[in-house]
Structure 1
Amino acid sequence: MHALTLPLPAGDTWTRAEFEALPEDLPVRVSLIHGELVVSPRPRPIHQRIARRLATRIEEAAPGGWQVDTDVDVLLDDDETEAVEIAPDVVVYSTDHDPYERPIPADLVSLVVEVVSPSTKRKDRRSHPELYAEAGIRHFWRVETDQTAPAFAIYTYEIDDATGRYVATGVHHDRVSVTSPFDLDIELKPVRDR
């Protein structure tokens, strides 16, 4: 096994420029949260399969003006010393953003989806949704798999304008049928089955 060597930040925290200068082919996932580099293992194949299948179905339903990608960096906070940049499992964002450029600014993102894994439960259920809501991303979906919950389900959330926090809009076991951010009707059996 090869040791992973990353450069050190010039100061006490990582800047966006230092973070974005990291190689794209790292064998681990990295996020920048309030200037701290957070390293996570790459997801299991079943996690990636669920994210890919769900992204495909969302993309098929998306009207013009939207694009859908998996595991791409979203800039949640551009603070000079405590920037936040995370790669959600699925991102639905405006075609105003050039897909050759990274990161995607949060104000162009309408929906982020996190597929919960055993090693990411806390982040996917608590800290990441708070960061997405603070950045103003209107919709958040959390996918619980048979690895993380008794039954496969997608939990949907939307920002409450009064509080700026997510409120639950549904729990979906067999089908996700929503009208926001746009009309979506997705049968979940093909998404979850191996």
Structure 2
Amino acid sequence: MTAETAHHWPVPPQDGYTVDDLLTLPDLPPHTELIDGSLVFVSPQRIFHSDTIDLLVSGLRHTVPPELKVKREITVVIDRRNGPEPDVSVVRAAAVRSRTQTHFQVRDVMLACEVVSPESEARDRDTKPHKYANAGIPYFWRIEMGGADDHPVVHVFELDAEARVYVPTGTYRNRLKLSVPYDIDIDLTAIDEL
């Protein structure tokens, strides 16, 4: 039996899906994203991906100021045809309205983080950073597995607001110490303890 015969897949609308569809279609697989009107299904994640998200969330929450919140794997509505799901987001605290909330508006996102997986490499390196920058998210981190110990390597970017592109500001191994969007100090080698 193949996936096609095992499940009835929805037929895309003529002009593609919208964020409203993404947020209301029943039985979508977990972590489905909307990119340019197309639904993107995510393959099963590797331990590195899960552990890195846990490490970042814990580290970011350790020093987050009260006006911001750290959230994992929540849809960010960029426009009618784009609703990606960053692995980790730092959002304005006022944007967190209830425990049943399923998405944030892009204007409320200060930092979007993507942990690169083999199946998401092109989206995490090209498509999503381009969309995040064009939408005005001030900071973006791309995290990849690297080095002999397969530790996280964090590529940090800051928005050039006029050009609407990200400018690299550093690559971090072992320790991620930054002052923006707030004071952050994460021991990246702590992934070995998870």
Q: TM-score, normalised by structure 1?
A: 0.87
Matches within 5 A, 1:82-161: 83-97=81-95, 98-99=97-98, 100-146=100-146, 152-161=152-161
Q: Does 1:50 align with 2:52?
A: yes
* Identical columns (%): 29
> Does the CA-based 8 Å contact 2:87-2:115 persist in structure 1?
yes
Deviation of 1:20 (Å): 0.9
Aligned to 1:32: 34
> Does the CA-based 8 Å contact 2:151-2:191 persist in structure 1?
no
Higher helix share: 2
Amino acid at match of 2:137: I
Moved more, 32-41 or 53-62: 32-41
Moved more, 31-40 or 55-64: 31-40
SS in 2 for 1:40: coil
Deviation of 1:25 (Å): 6.5
Gaps of 5+ in 1: none
Gaps of 5+ in 2: none
CA RMSD, Structure 1 to Structure 2 (Å): 2.3
Aligned to 2:16: 13
- In the aligned structure 1, how far is the partner of 2:14 from the partner of 2:28? 24
Q: Of 8, 11, 22, which residue of structure 1 is paired with 2:25?
A: 22
Amino acid at match of 1:13: G
Deviation of 1:193 (Å): 5.6
> Does the CA-based 8 Å contact 2:16-2:38 persist in structure 1?
yes
Corresponding pairs, count:
188
SS in 2 for 1:84: coil
> Does the CA-based 8 Å contact 2:92-2:109 persist in structure 1?
yes
Deviation track 1:58-94 (CA, whole Å, cap 9, x = no partner) reads: 011101011111111001123xxxx100111101101
> Does the CA-based 8 Å contact 1:50-1:192 persist in structure 2?
no
SS in 2 for 1:157: strand
- In the aligned structure 1, how far is the partner of 2:63 from the partner of 2:160? 25
Aligned to 1:162: 162
Moved more, 120-129 or 3-12: 3-12
Describe the shift of the 1:50–1:24 C-alpha distance in structure 2 as closer, same or farther (beyond 3 A): farther
